[in-house]
A and B are shown apart, each in its own frame.
Chain A
Amino acid sequence: MSAPRRHVPVPTAETAPFWEGCRAGELRVQRCRACGAAQFYPRALCAPCGSRELAWERGTGRGTLRSWSIVRRGVNAAYDADGPYVLVLVELEEGPTLMSTLVGVRVGPALDAAEGVAIGAPVEVAFEAWQEGATVPRFRLVRRPEA
């Protein structure tokens, strides 16, 4: 068997503009022209109102953690190269939630030992170039200045 690799996204008609945005350093979300709702992941129509009048906009790339877990072992060895990592759900400033992982966080062997990681913590996007031309959004903690 060949060496394990990370799973890269294969864009579809609905999602290609999102992945193009990642390569351009933009975290794009869909905005419904009919009801104003922001949507992620990208789809063919606005899920709440059913309108197909969707526009792309550049999101701020900022959000807060809705939940998190330290993954002690990923689905293959390619994910474990840097040891355990932090899986997160990020609630974007625009409203929708997406799954990602954190960069730049030290994880210890003790349960829940991930420095600075908590529900509600502010994060910002950190794009990462992977194999096969894929650029994937990861996130980093935004350190609040000391009060």
Chain B
Amino acid sequence: MSRARGTVAIVGIADTPVGVVPRPGATGLCIDAILGALADAGLPKDAVDGLVTLNPTAEPYTYHAEAIAESLGLAPSWCWSTLTGGSSAIGALQQAVHAIDAGACEVVVIAMADSLRSGLTREAAVAMQASTGHPQFERPYGAPVVAHYALIARAHMHEYGTTPEQFAAVAVATRAHAARNPAAQMRTPIAVDDVLASRPIADPLKLLDCSLVSDGGAALVLTSAVRARDLRRPPVYFLGAGAAVGHEHVSQARSLTTSAAVESGRRAYAAAGAGPREIDFAQLYDCFTPVVLIELEDLGFCAKGEAGAFVAAGHTAPGGRLPVNTHGGLLSHAHSGHPSTLFAITETVRQLRGECGERQLARAELALVHGQGGVLSSHATAIFGRAPR
């Protein structure tokens, strides 16, 4: 893990439009993202010898990556689809780095898209809604995923005195970032009172504590740092990653308030040779507002129980000491399901390249991206930089 840093770079990125995007559907969005990222990299499709995708809820295929390769006329030597929920994109990226380092392939595309807003049949929407939890010991109780996270929110309030106002501050800071991003789905600024006054969904969580439901996708092109030097875009270097799984079902969590992000973060920091104090900005998985607080704590940005006050003080907002989710996150930019952490990575690349216009951070050298899937179950953390370190 620690032997080489910055051997692989992201050399091309693309997001599709996000929000309500009825056409072209999940397959077409995935293809558009791939072609967009290759154009950004200045590489022809025939250069691609590695492909990772994620089977979407809308327009699924039995062998998704193979179907996408077939649609594009590719014959990759390394081709698979993944599913670890919101950590999928980082997990795939970590494996792609290993494959490039090992010489298994040279140019890898990671592409994921879904059409949760416009593309689901009624049956698929019902099945997705009912899919949270252990099939025998949790699903019979009929609780949607937000209620599973509400159990975590309540426990954090009880253990650390965290308040609904502090959860709301996460949504407010994230919306302030989205207001600066023309691509974001929700850009109208909100205040803490707006969040508190929004409809209860699963107490203590309210509508504005919850992420969006979106269509959209994104893609990355990765290659070796050596080859990256000859390409048209400034390379963004992969410096290290770590993954960790603590449980799958919330009823089995060893702790409701401390997650396996502790371990994934520690592994990523060790691999990158950096610590939380050196990170200029972070993109943290924000399916529901309390998750951001737990991640800030577990990844070492705050002591345990102090993230609520940290966010309420504005430290994660635009101009704060640790801007978080500079694109607007899942709360305000887009949440098209499992692909969504790719948006956090493409935004990170844009910030590190210096392409973000109005929302460009003054200092963007080193960034952390964290994704998690399930109910704080499957974690992955990655660190990127402008230099190979």
Question: Which residues of chain B come closer than 8 Å to A1, judged between CB atoms?
Answer: 122
Q: Is the CB of B136 within 8 A of A68?
A: no
Q: A67-B151, A67-B152 are in contact. Are A6 and B140 (CB under 8 A)?
A: yes
Q: How far is the CB of B255 from chain A (nearest CB, A)?
A: 11
* Number of inter-chain CB pairs below 8 Å: 118
- Chain B 150-183, CB within 8 Å of chain A: the 1/0 string? 1111110010000010000000000000000000
Residues from chain B with a CB closer than 8 A to the CB of A101 are 141-143
**Number of residues in A with C-beta < 8 Å to the partner?**
38
Which of B142, B144, B154, B164 interacts with A119 by CB under 8 Å? B154
Taking the complex as formed, is A59 at the interface, i.e. its CB lies under 8 A from any CB of chain B? no
B159 to chain A, nearest CB (A): 9
Bitwise interface map of A from 95 to 122 toward B, beta carbon under 8 Å scored 1, else 0: 0011111000000000110100001000
At the interface, yes or no: B260 with Cβ under 8 Å from chain A?
A: no
B130 at the interface (CB under 8 A from A): yes
Interface set, chain A 56-98, CB cutoff 8 A to B: 66-76, 78-79, 87, 89, 97-98
- Distance (Å) between the CB of B15 and the closest chain A CB? 31
**Cα separation A17 to B212 with both chains bound (whole Å):** 41
The answer, among B144, B153, B199, B251, for a CB contact under 8 Å with A75, is B144
| Number of residues of chain B lying within 8 A (CB) of chain A | 39
Instruction: Indicate with 1 or 0, residue by residue over B238-265, a CB within 8 angstroms of chain A CB atoms.
Output: 0000000000011110001000000000
Which residue from chain B places its CB closest to the CB of A88 in the assembled complex? B151
**Residue of A whose beta carbon sits closest to that of B134:** A41
Please measure, in the bound complex, the distance between the C-alpha atom of A119 and the C-alpha atom of B155, giving whole angstroms: 8
Chain A interfacial positions (CB closer than 8 Å to B): 1, 6-12, 15, 19, 41, 66-76, 78-79, 87, 89, 97-101, 111-112, 114, 119, 130, 134, 136
10 nearest CB pairs, A to B: A79-B142, A69-B150, A74-B142, A9-B136, A67-B151, A70-B203, A99-B251, A75-B130, A67-B155, A41-B137
